[in-house]
Amino acid sequence: MDDLKPFEVAHLGPIELRNRLIKSATFEGTATRGEVTDDLIAFHRRVAAGGAAMTTLAYCAVAADGRTYRNQIWMRDEVVPGLARLTEAVHGEGAAAAIQLGHAGFFATPRATGTRPMAPSRIFAPNGLTFARAMGDDDLDRVVGDYEAAARLAVAAGFDAIEVHLGHGYLLSQFLSPWSNRRRDAWGGDVEGRSRLPRAALAAVRAAAGPSVAVTAKLNMLDGFRGGLSIDDGVEVARLLERDGTVDAIELTGGFTSRNPMFLMRGETPIGELIRQERSRIRRLGLQIAGRRMMRAVPFEEAFFLPHALQVRAAVSLPLILLGGITRLDTITHALAEGFEFVAMARALLREPDLPARMHQGVTDAAACIPCNRCVVEMERGGTRCVFVPRENEEPS
């Protein structure tokens, strides 16, 4: 087979994409009252106009109790008109629109949800400074139904693809991880048991999506700490998803937000700025005491997930999306030559949303992004953005 080219037309399941570059989900922090805003639409319009094949609306909770922030979008009838405005704006720039669906599990914030967090097993929930309760059968059934209902709303809003979040320590990832899933029933134990809820959620989303919408999974290959999901188990989960036939592609990632957040970001740790901007006195004190230990720096390397992703590539034949520190055109070309069908970029497109177009035109072959991670701090200051791009220079919403 001929080597795939970055800027050729490609197919992701039932949808056609104008190239092989995807904007991965990065939580935008620009929703208010849990609804779409003009700023959120403008964020994705810039990415679409900049040449990416598809832009992904980040973390929309499938239910009110799955939120980590009070203003986070959660899927219900009232948000569909706003979501439709977003997909129309993206389509108007020639790109496809994807939505990431997830549930926070024990990451949920009681101040936002008004409820006690839940998890595969009883575990301390740092966002609420409480213990999450173990989920019962009714909870499990309800969560699967929430994913199905959320997917139907996403289709009604005009999304071309639905990404189900099985990574970074959110609920479905909590089930996959032996560190957080200590159940001894059919929903725990070996890889097949721990993957039962994620696979049931994907099956429900696949049924709701219909034949014209792509379904993908953002899958942790490994958690990155002792006692967490191993790469061998991550590979086995990918095999199970391929066997199920519920996904058109898997986006490969890793890391567990509450244990090792820098494993999934890499580069500098802006702990001082995170402490200064934290409004909660309790959380600020927690960051001062334990922040540097929890957010240990992990050196940045170009395409840092590639070695693990190649193990998944060798085990499955379904399309894979490579993610993680991709900033150069030659890296993209190399990834496609290694057998990955798509490449996802995140932080690089915060600084340069037009980077794909400029690469295609031969204007540049590398992103200006540096792994300072100060964009993460900006999420609490009016929305995720690159600090090297003054707000006044951004396209008005």
Query: Which residues pair with residue 99 across a beta bridge?
Result: 57, 162
CA-to-CA separations, 17 to 53, 88, 385, in angstroms, rounded = 5, 16, 26
The SS3 of residue 143 is helix
- H helical segments located in 191-280: 191-194, 196-209, 231-244, 261-265, 271-277
Q: Give 375's contacts (C-beta < 8 A, 6+ positions apart).
A: 26, 347, 350, 384, 385, 386, 387
Torsion angle of C-alpha atoms 323, 327, 332, 333, degrees rounded to 10 = -160
How far is it, in rounded angstroms, from Cα 95 to Cα 88? 10
Residue 266 one-letter amino acid: R
Structure tokens at 230: 């191993």
Pairing mode, strands 123-125 and 130-134? antiparallel
**Helix/strand/coil percentages in the chain, nearest 5:** 40, 15, 45
How far is it, in rounded angstroms, from Cα 373 to Cα 368? 13
Q: 151, 101 in Cβ contact below 8 A?
A: yes
Structure tokens at 192: 């097949």
Q: Which residue is associated with the tokens 């039962």?
A: 196
Structure tokens at 149: 């209902």
Residue 158 one-letter amino acid: G
Q: Which residue is associated with the tokens 């080597």?
A: 3
- First-to-last alpha carbon distance for the chain, in angstroms, is 44
- 59 has catalytic annotation: no
How far is it, in rounded angstroms, from Cα 392 to Cα 390? 5
- H helical segments located in 14-109: 38-49, 80-92
Q: Which residue is associated with the tokens 């540097």?
A: 292
CB-count burial class (<10 Å; 0-12, 13-18, 19+) for 23: buried
Active site residues: 170
